[in-house]
Structure 1
Amino acid sequence: MNTTKIGIVGYGNLGRGVETGLKNSDDLELVGIFSRRKPEQLDTSSPAYHMDELAAFKDKIDVLILCGGSQKDIPVQAPELAKAFNTVDTYDNHNEIPNHFNRLDKIAKEHNTVAVLSTGWDPGLFSLNRLFAESILPKGETYTFWGPGLSQGHSDAVRRVSGVKNAVQYTVPREELVDAVKNKEAVDYDKLSAHKRVVYLVLEEKADENKVKEIIVTMPDYFEGYETEVNVIDQATFDKEHAGMPHGGTVMRQGKTSESETAIYQFGLDLDSNPEFTAAVAIAYARAAGKLARENQFGAKTVFDIAPSYLSPKSAEDLRKELL
C-alpha cells in the first residue's frame, strides 16, 4: 500500500476536521499543519509550522489539503501552491468555479502537478449526484435543497465583513417545496426562493450595525437575491446557542421513465459536523490526487473527472469483490 503524505494549509474548523479525519486512514500520513499563525498558537499536538516554512517541504509532502476560506484564501493560495504541490481544495463559490478551474489547470499542467478543486459535499458529492440523476433521468427536473444547517463558506464570508466579531449563517429550505417534490408534484423552483438565509452575528465595539447588515444582504454570490435575516446577538448568547455545526441537504430529481411513470432520484445528508464531513470528502480526494500524480495525470480535476475507485484505499479487485 502506498502511503500518501499530507499537509494541511490553514487550521480553522476545516483544518481541524482534516486533522481528525486523517486518523481514520492508514494509507495517509499527516506531515504537518501550516498556518499564518505562529505554530505555538495552534491547539494541536500534530507537527505545526508557519506558512513561510512550507516551501522547504516540497519533496516531503505528496498532497496539500487547502482549508482556507473560499472568498479570500483559496483564490490566492491555490494557484500559487499548485506551482509546487499537488493540492485539494473545497472552493465553494459555484459561479466562479469555471474560472478557478481554468486558472488551476494552466498552472498545474505547466508545473506537472494535480489540482483537485471544489471537493466537499456541495460542490462535491451533490454535484456528482446531480450528474448521475440527470444522466439516468434525462427527462425531468433536478432540485437541490440545502439545510437546515450551518454553512461554513457563508459564515466565513460574514466573519470577514468589517465590524463583525463572530458570525454563523444557517441555510433553511422551504419544507413545503421539499415535500411537493417528494410527492411528485410540479414545483416552481429556483434556489433563491427555495431557501432562506439566517445570520447570527456579534458586532465589534463601535461597529455600525446598519452598515454591516447592508454589506451582508447585498454580498454578491452569497446573499444577494436571497431572503436574508440578520440577527445581532451578544457573545454569551453566541457561545451558548451557536457552537454546533450541523448541516445537511438533499438532491432530488423528478424524472419520467415513460409518459405515465415518474421516478424520484434522491441523495441526502444529515451531518452533526459540517466541517468534519467536508474534511472527510477532501481527504478521500487527496488520496485520489496522490494516485493521479503517481500516474502523471497532471492538471486540474473536479469530482466529475475522477473515477470513484481512486477515492478508496482498496484495490480494484477488492472493490469488485466487496462492493460491486
Structure 2
Amino acid sequence: MIKIGIIGYGNLGRGVERAIKQHADMELVGIYTRRAPETVTTDGAPVFTMESLTEQKDKIDVCILCGGSATDLPIQTPEYTHLFNTVDSFDTHAKIPEHFAKVDQIAKENQTVSIISTGWDPGLFSLNRLYAQSILPNGETNTFWGKGVSQGHSDALRRIDGVADATQYTIPNAEIIEKLKAGESLTLTTRDKHFRECFVVLEEGADADTVKEEIMNMPNYFADYDTEVHFISQEELNRDHKAMPHGGTVLHTGTTHENTKQVIEYNLYLESNPEFTASVLVAYARACARLAEEKTFGAYTVLDIAPKYLSACSDAELRKELL
C-alpha cells in the first residue's frame, strides 16, 4: 500500500481524499492543516495539525501538497521535500524552472523524490504539447483554457488585500480556434487567445478602485489579458459562481510531405476542475512512490516520467490491454 498524507484541505485537498478511495493500492494516513483539526469536516479521514506532520515521517510514503501556487507551494514544496516524497500542482508557468531547480536541489540532498507541476495544465496538456511538436515539427501549437473556473487565478484574487472572496473564469476565443483548425496561419498574442472575467466580493471598507487596479496589473495572472472585474455580493457569488467547471484544448496544426495539413487536438471537458486535478495528483503520487523505491532521487515533471509509472497495472497487463 502507498501511504498518502494530504497537506491542506481546500477544494483540491477534498478532491484528493475522494480520489484516493478509487485506488486499491493507496491508503490515506491523514490530512494536515493550518486550521484547528476539530473544525475540519472530512469524508472520514483523520485530521492533524501541520506541526504534527514531521512526527509521522515514517508513516507516509508521499505527501500531496494541495496549497495554492501564489504563496503556499513556493514555500511548502521545498520545506516538506526535506523530509518527504512530495507531489504538487504548482501552476505559475513562468516560475516553473525556478521552482524545479530549488526543489531538485533539496530532493537530491535529502534523498527524496518530488514531482512538481502535475495536474492538467501544467501536466497532461504539457505532455500533449510535447507529443504534438515532436511528431509534427513543422507546425504550431496553441493552448486554450476554459470556459471555466481557474483555481489558481481565483486563489490569487482572494490573496489581494480587501478581497473577501472571488471566482475567476478563463474564456477562450472560439473564433480564433476555428480559424486555426481551418488552417489559417495566425500571429497571436496572449491577449488574443483568452479573456478573463473576475467576480469579486469586497471586504467591508475596501476600496473597489484600488482592488481593481491591483487585479488588472497582477503579473503572470491578469496583466497580459483583457480582464473584466465585477464586484458582487457574497450571496450572489455563492449562488452563481461556486461550481468548478473547466477544461481546454491543445491544438497543434502542422504539415507533412508536400504541405499536407495535419491537426492534433486534445480536449478536456471537466465538471469539477479540483476533482480532476486531484485525480492527476494521485496518479502521480503512485509514480513518486515508485521512483523513491528505485532511489532515483530528485525533482521531476510529467515530461520526465514514463506513463506506466502512473498505472497500478503490471507492465505485462499494460502491454496486453492498452498497447
Render the CA deviation track for 1:79-135: whole Å, top value 9, x for unaligned: 010000000000000000000000000000000000100000000000000000000
Residue 133 of structure 1 aligns with an amino acid whose one-letter code is A
Name the counterpart of 1:264.
263
**Post-superposition offset of 1:190:** 2.8
Render the CA deviation track for 1:14-55: whole Å, top value 9, x for unaligned: 000000111110011100000000111111121110101000
CA distance in 1, matches of 2:99, 2:112: 16
CA distance in 1, matches of 2:243, 2:83: 36
Name the counterpart of 2:212.
213
Name the counterpart of 1:27.
25
CA distance in 2, matches of 1:190, 1:20: 39
Name the counterpart of 1:79.
78
Name the counterpart of 2:7.
9
Contact 2:17 2:28 in 1 (8 A): yes
**Secondary structure at 1:275 match in 2:** helix
Name the counterpart of 1:201.
200
Render the CA deviation track for 1:244-301: whole Å, top value 9, x for unaligned: 1000000010001122311000101000000000000010000000000000010000
Name the counterpart of 1:99.
98
**Secondary structure at 2:186 match in 1:** coil
Q: State yes or no: 1:186 paired with 2:185.
A: yes
**Secondary structure at 1:304 match in 2:** helix
**Secondary structure at 2:199 match in 1:** strand
**Post-superposition offset of 1:150:** 0.4
Render the CA deviation track for 1:290-321: whole Å, top value 9, x for unaligned: 00000001000000100000000000000000
Q: State yes or no: 1:119 paired with 2:128.
A: no
- TM-score for the superposition, normalised by structure 2: 0.99
**Secondary structure at 2:58 match in 1:** coil
Residue 82 of structure 1 aligns with an amino acid whose one-letter code is T
**Secondary structure at 2:210 match in 1:** helix
**Secondary structure at 2:165 match in 1:** strand
**Post-superposition offset of 1:188:** 2.2
**Post-superposition offset of 1:77:** 0.5
Name the counterpart of 1:42.
40
CA distance in 2, matches of 1:189, 1:126: 19
Q: State yes or no: 1:88 paired with 2:103.
A: no
Aligned positions, number? 322
CA distance in 2, matches of 1:253, 1:72: 33
CA distance in 2, matches of 1:179, 1:188: 14
Render the CA deviation track for 1:200-246: whole Å, top value 9, x for unaligned: 01110000100000011101111112101000001111111012100
Residue 18 of structure 2 aligns with an amino acid whose one-letter code is T
CA distance in 2, matches of 1:43, 1:204: 26
Residue 291 of structure 1 aligns with an amino acid whose one-letter code is R
Q: State yes or no: 1:177 paired with 2:176.
A: yes
Render the CA deviation track for 1:172-220: whole Å, top value 9, x for unaligned: 0111001111212222223332100000011100001000000111011
Residue 21 of structure 1 aligns with an amino acid whose one-letter code is A
CA distance in 2, matches of 1:229, 1:258: 44
**Secondary structure at 2:206 match in 1:** coil
Q: State yes or no: 1:146 paired with 2:145.
A: yes
CA distance in 2, matches of 1:172, 1:319: 37
CA distance in 1, matches of 2:265, 2:256: 15
Q: Which runs of 5+ in 2 are unaligned?
A: none
Q: State yes or no: 1:322 paired with 2:321.
A: yes
Name the counterpart of 1:251.
250
CA distance in 2, matches of 1:306, 1:192: 32
CA distance in 2, matches of 1:243, 1:216: 20
Contact 1:144 1:191 in 2 (8 A): no
**Secondary structure at 1:58 match in 2:** helix
CA distance in 2, matches of 1:270, 1:191: 22
